[in-house]
Structures are given as C-alpha cells and as structure tokens.
Amino acid sequence: MLEHLIPSRRNPPGEEPIFALNAEALKRRASGEQVVNATLGALTDDTGRIVIHETIRELWKELTPEEVAPYAPLLGDPTYLKAMVQRYWPKLESPGAACATPGGSGALALSARSFLEPGMAILTAAPYWGPYNLFAAEAGCQIVEAPYKTADQPLDLDAWSQAAETLMNQQGRLLVWLNDPCQNPTGLSLNHADREGILELLAQQALRGPVVLLLDSAYLDYTADPAHVRDALDQYAAFAETGPVLIGAALSISKSMTMYGARGGALAFPWCQDPTLTTALGLECRGLWSAAPKAAQALVIRLAQDGHRQERLNAELRHWSEVLESRAMALDSALRTEGLTGAAWHGGFFVTLRVHEPSAVTESLRAQGVFVVPVSTGIRVGICSLRAADAPRFARALKNLG
Ligand SMILES: Cc1ncc(COP(=O)(O)O)c(C=O)c1O
C-alpha cells in the first residue's frame, strides 16, 4: 500500500461512481447478459458503436505530420481560437483574451485557478457534472450549489440570488460555471426569462466585486430547438457587450465534433481584450500543460476554411440531434406507459429522472441489468447510448422498484 507516498488531498464529495458502473456493465454484457448501459457519455449508434462524424473523420485523415507534431503556441493558434468562438458567435472578429486547453475540462480547471484563491468556491447549478468537484478541488476550491431548473418550474432566482450574495460576502468575488443550454445531467435549458434573471443578479453582484460567468458549452450542438440555442447565445453576447460581468466560454470539440480523445478545447473571453488576462491565462497554461494538443487545433482550422464541410458537419449534428430527440421521446412515452413521470429533454446527451434516494434506485436498476448514474436529484440516463428500443425495458425496471 502506497498511501504514505500520496499527500492527503481533498476527497471531493458526490463524485460519480461512473467508471465502476460502466466497467461492470461492459463485463456483464461480455458474459452474454442483455444489459442496458445508460452510463456512457459518448454518442453511440443503435448497434452500440461510437459515432464519429464523417466530416471529422475525413478532416482528421487529411492532417499532415507538420500539423500534428510541432508544439502549438502556448496560448494556442490564434486562427484556432478565432474559429472556436466563431462557431457559436459567428459575428465575433476576435477570440478576445483566450487560450487553447485540453478539452472543456481544461478550460474549466484553468478558470478556477485563474480567478479564485484557494479556499474560495465556485457557484454552479445543481445537479451538475461530477468532475466539477475535482476541477474545483485541484484549485483548492469547492463547489457551492444553486438549483438548476426543473422541467415544469422556472429557475429559483431567489435561491440563486442568495447563494451569489453569500459567496460575494465571503470571498469578495464570484466565479459561476453555467452549463446552459443543454445541461449535463438534466438535459434541460434555461429559458429567456431564467437567463435574464441570472444575468441581472450577477450584474448586481458585480457592483460589489469582480464577477466571472463561464458558459460551459459542451452539448449545445445537440438540441431539439436550434433557434432556442441561438437565442441563448445571442442573449449572453448582448449582456457581455454591455454588462459589468466578465463572460467567457469553456469550448470543446469532444461532443460537438465527436473528437473526445483529441482533447481540443479553449477558454475564451471574446468580449474582453485586456492583455493582463491574456498573460495570466498564458502563464497558467504553461504551468499546467505547456501547450494544448496541436492536431485538434489543426483540424478546427481546416474545418473553418471549408464551408462545404461546415455545412456537412451541421447536417450531421442535426441528424444526431434528431436521433437523441427520438430516444428521449421513446423514454418519455415508455415511462408514461408504466404510469411514471415522463422525461423532459431540451438538448445534450442526458436526461435526469427525479427519484428519491438516487443511489438506492441505481442499485436496484443495476440488479436488473440496467445501468445509470446517480446524481443529487435523481438518476442520469445517457440517451446518447440508450436505444429507443430499450426504453420499454428501462421503464419496466424503474417501475419494478416497487
Ligand atoms: C458538462 C460538461 N462540461 C464539459 C465537459 C468537457 O469535456 P471535454 O473535456 O472532453 O471537452 C463535459 C464532458 O463530458 C461535460 O459533460
């Protein structure tokens, strides 16, 4: 046992037991059992094979050794950074203060180190993606929660206001991580009024101290309603242009381009040109990973220069959004058939079904060969890997809990 070699570290609460669940699901499937594995966080087709968008496959194959092997610039290739922000805000002419990161994970982790002191906390919406706890803990920080919305209720802005006020009182600054639209794990998005409320209360806090709002954009390419996503992005941009809050985005090619392993991401503050922030980001990058992977940057640059491929990728994203929507609808209808509450979905790879005692429900489902991830308010179901045909079995297993 090597415990004595490893300095004692914070053990972040609420971390998903996802690796163990996924490993067991794979083992039981390999031994011939018909399992339903809804723990995965990658898009798979109905045969269980990982989806890699055709456009991206082609671009990847075209990369030359010179686009892969050299170090990328420490802050990332400026053309890459611009292309990353323009995917979501096409009118932007500059990425602003920005750096390339290994995935959106790198961007989130870097933001905690850049904007907070150890001992401080990040405000986010609960339930949230489990690794947020780790990214915070690695910066010596923790997570403070305010509730995310539920399918039939507006956002609880009083709770958000209170949480923001208390944190500002305690630490004199705020960093907020907001995974909107298309949140993991709920599969829901805020509506215009929810967003307006959050932005207003953050603007209030910005009169008292620095406020940074980081939009975690991991899933917003997969949506039932692209116009809604566009509205959300425009709303954030309009606020960023005028508001006293520093708005940034944790960008990623993992889900949007199905390039999880290429580790392409960026932390960008497109509405801020302050060189002090750019320098701070550059130093953090150097200290943490030197330079982010070059191949991912080369791929995004090639895509940005090829309008035809962009159109094809957008068509692939629409297609898989429709597949996700049909899986969510199949689950919703199967749950209702069993007399259970349905599953609301606006976008992303997951839905969360509200249950009491999420861990106990997860265990009971596991005993029936159905694998999900417990989160604070319920169970997370990966519709990215749940076939519509498995929805009735899933619903029956949930009904069988008694
Ligand atoms: C909510 C959320 N944010 C960010 C990420 C970042 O992913 P990556 O680091 O692969 O870009 C993920 C990945 O699962 C996620 O679920």
pLDDT at 13: 53
Which of 22, 105, 132, 189 maximizes ligand 1 atoms within 8 Å of its Cβ, making it the mutation to test the pocket? Answer: 105
Which of 128, 129, 258 maximizes ligand 1 atoms within 8 Å of its Cβ, making it the mutation to test the pocket? Answer: 129
pLDDT at 354: 94
pLDDT at 131: 93
Which of 133, 178, 184 maximizes ligand 1 atoms within 8 Å of its Cβ, making it the mutation to test the pocket? Answer: 184
pLDDT tens-place string over residues 209-242: 999 999 999 999 999 999 999 999 999 999 999 8
What predicted TM-score, i.e. pTM, was given to this entire model? Answer: 0.95
User: 399 alpha carbon to ligand 1 midpoint, in Å?
Assistant: 31
Q: At 222, list the tokens.
A: 């997969």
pLDDT at 18: 76
pLDDT at 22: 84
The residue contributing the CA closest to ligand 1 atom 12 is: 218
Burial class of residue 297 (count of CB atoms within 10 Å of its CB; 0-12, 13-18, 19+): buried
CA 302 to chain centre: 24
| Ligand 1 atom closest to the CA of 264, numbered from 1 | 11
For the chain, domains (ranges, CATH) are: 3-52+310-399 (3.90.1150.10), 64-307 (3.40.640.10)
Low-confidence ranges of the chain (pLDDT < 70): 1-3, 6-17, 402
Classified as helix, coil or strand, 278 is helix
Ligand 1 pocket member 223 (CB < 6 A): no
* Extended beta strands in 254-397, E state: 265-269, 350-354, 370-371, 373-375, 378-382
Measured distance CA(151)–CA(378) in Å, rounded: 13
Ligand 1 pocket member 105 (CB < 6 A): yes
pLDDT at 100: 98
Ligand 1 pocket member 218 (CB < 6 A): yes
- Which among 163, 108, 160, 103 has a CA at the least distance from the CA of 137? 108
